[in-house]
A and B are shown apart, each in its own frame.
Chain A
Amino acid sequence: MSNAEGVSLLKFAVAVQSVRDLKFAKEPWAPIDLQNEIETEMQSAFFGAWKEVFGEVAAPSRIIFGSEFCQHRLPTVRAVNKALDYCWKNGFEFSFATSYMHEEKFQELADILAVLDEQMKKHEKNIEIIVNDWGVYFYTKKRFPELDLVIGRLLNKSIRDPRVAHYYNESNAPEEGKEFFKKTGLFSQSFRQFLGNGRVTGFEFDQLIQGNFLSEEEAEQTIGLHFPFGCTASGSACMVGFIDMDKADKFRGDPECKQQCQRYVFELKNKRHLDMRNRVFQKGNSAFYSHDSGLVRMGLESLQAMKNGRAVYSLRIPV
């Protein structure tokens, strides 16, 4: 994608949560194995809107590997090395996505970060760590100061409640209120002060149902906008983990997680908010709203105008 002066504008990244899906990142517009109904629908909506906005489909230049939402989806060091190897051999830049971490998994993540730091130095290539936990941010900044840090969408707070978000942009709402629901707190002067001495190279956003206020002036670093699933809520209680256990042991973090979230998903259909415009899905410990063509188009158009924009497309509901 380029502007009239030929300056490259939009970068394109594909988010992949499993090694088995790496091979689909080259042509993310093509049908993939074991794609479910909503993922197929969203693929069509995303690339359809892309063509409307840009007129051509661009090849992705980066793979974002890993789960932003569940510590029990933390890959092994071996899997991370495999993903990194795949990326660099196939000409992709590499980002590693991390979730929030309780102490036990935090220590496992530390081992992965050490390996990535070593690889980065050995190959003299940049590696991005996408953080969704301020503890992970602080630890990475302190221990591995040469790794690039991107502030993930779980640390970029906003209201993403599909039951009511479409009302937040109504014409009769107070302007200050509307602006609040579209803006991020990460670009305040005080937040910049907080992030001041870290190697922060970007910020990630969900495309909000009420719209995002993404200002070119404020966005000095990469702005990554996620499609086609926005995160509404994430937590420690997994809906399918421990499915075979006694009731008393269910709905909490499982160190021996059998990854049932990769087998089963729930669609949440609301009985009260009948005017909801976006579908809601619960995968494992997280709830997501799916985009529609209009929302995708809105997001791509906002990125189109930005010097540092990056569209992030997830092949699957991203857990």
Chain B
Amino acid sequence: MNILAPLGAKEEVEMLAESGAEEFYCGITPMEWMEKYSPGVWINRRNPYAGFPSFKDLEEAVRRAEAYDIPLFLTLNAPYYTEAQYPMLIDLIKRCQEEVGIKAFIVSDPGLMAAMKSQVPKAPIHVSSLAAPMNTGSIELYKQMQVERIVLPRSVQLNEIPALKEAAGDIELEVFILNDGCVYEESFCMTTHSAGAFCSQAQWNYVPQHADGNKSLTAAELDTLNEQVDDYREFVWFVNDCNCQIAHDGLPLGPCGLCSLAKLDSMGVDSLKIVGREGAPYRKLASVQMVKAVMEQVRGKAAEEEVEKLARKIRNQPQYCESGLMCYYR
């Protein structure tokens, strides 16, 4: 299993490569795109400023990564693209593949996948989790489209992966391992983070009602539902990176699958995604280091229980691990 790290700038390459990153991904929004559509229309899932500022910088990042023999993948995983946007997208893919040296494109829109297959057939496709490939039907579909890798959504649990792996055959599977959860299914969240995450609980009052009719809630029901809201707020807090906090020991908090690494390895998962292209360099560094430390044990063939124990020790947040709400894999 490779450690896939997010990149926000060329200067981050050496730091992350030296710390254990084995693959990189990033985004770029060409200036002509922003001029035409405004920064409000995102070319990938993150805002334009979370990506590289120029092709020159992107090329330099690829060169630096190549020095470590690390491939760089590019995200083109906006939920959808319109007809008018395709020429610019195809030009971008051609340029990135032929001139810049991007090794694969992370795509969620089946229309763009079809366009790539007909117009840039040599450009490898990684199916983004935004395409919601969560069953064997999806795996079969993307297999037929000859993709190279499929990123499983965060909601796919450990017990589901073996069947998906079997269906995938030679196609690589990537899973989420650290940071930035999603309360809803990423593919089916039709909101924009430009207004802050829709799921962020601090902005909402949750007012319970009966679904059926206009019955009044009993006092006991109201108590139960208010308690449920409190628990929900806590769950969302974990999913939203514990309010983007850093722990006392300097490690970033947030959704985590570290203690499942041995299981994921035995299931034949190929890549471990660390989320957070737009995060601070320090957060990326600490995240890569945490995954690397546990992966060393996995590669050393440590028993599953040992790996789990080490993961919890490194995480150093026993109360959060015990809560179960910070775990990708429950």
Contact = CB atoms under 8 A, between A and B. Distances in A.
Interface stretch (B58-66, B96-104, B126-134, B261-269): B126-134
Contact of A235 (B133, B140, B185): B185
A237 B135 CA distance: 18
Contact of B135 (A135, A194, A248): A135
Contact of A191 (B111, B206, B209): B111
Given A100-B188, A184-B80, A264 B210 contact: yes
A161 B185 contact: no
A139 B330 CA distance: 29
Contact of B184 (A33, A173, A264, A287): A287
Interface string A249-272: 111110000000111111111111
Contact count band on A? 35 or more
A154 B187 CA distance: 8
A239 B137 contact: no
Contacts of A236: 155, 185
Interface stretch (B35-43, B67-75, B291-299): B35-43
A194 B211 CA distance: 39
Contacts of A185: 80-82, 109, 111
Nearest to A316: B211
Contacts of A233: 183-184, 188-191, 198-199
Contacts of A264: 208-211, 221, 225
Contact count band on B? 35 or more
Most buried by B among A134, A139, A142, A158: A134
Contact of A271 (B198, B204, B208): B204
Interface in B180-200: 182-185, 187-192, 194-196, 198-199
Contact of B235 (A142, A250, A262): A250
A282 interface: yes
A263 B210 contact: yes
Contacts, number: 260
A164 interface: yes
A161 B198 CA distance: 8
A186 B38 CA distance: 22
Given A240-B228, A271-B203, A103 B135 contact: yes
Nearest to A101: B135
Contacts of A171: none
Contact of B212 (A247, A262, A282): A262
Contacts of A273: 195, 203
Contacts of B208: 264-266
Contacts of A317: 211
Nearest to A230: B190
A231 interface: yes
Interface string A134-171: 11111100100000000000100111110110000000
B169 interface: no
A136 B140 CA distance: 11
Contacts of A240: 225, 228
B141 interface: yes
Contact of B140 (A135, A177, A181, A184): A135
A269 B189 contact: no
Interface of B: 36-38, 40-41, 79-86, 109-115, 118, 131-141, 144, 155-156, 160, 163-164, 182-185, 187-192, 194-196, 198-199, 202-214, 221, 224-225, 228-229, 231-232, 234-235, 239, 322-325, 330
Interface of A: 33-37, 100-104, 106, 132-139, 142, 154, 157-161, 163-164, 173-174, 176-177, 179-181, 183-191, 193-194, 231-237, 239-240, 243, 247-253, 261-273, 282-283, 285-287, 316-317
Given A34-B212, A36-B213, A266-B209, 5 more contacts: A133-B132, A134-B132, A159-B191, A251-B325, A264-B210
Closest CB pairs A-B (n = 6): A135-B137, A248-B324, A235-B184, A185-B80, A135-B138, A191-B111
12 contacts: A37-B214, A135-B134, A158-B190, A161-B198, A190-B112, A233-B198, A233-B199, A263-B210, A263-B212, A265-B210, A272-B196, A285-B184
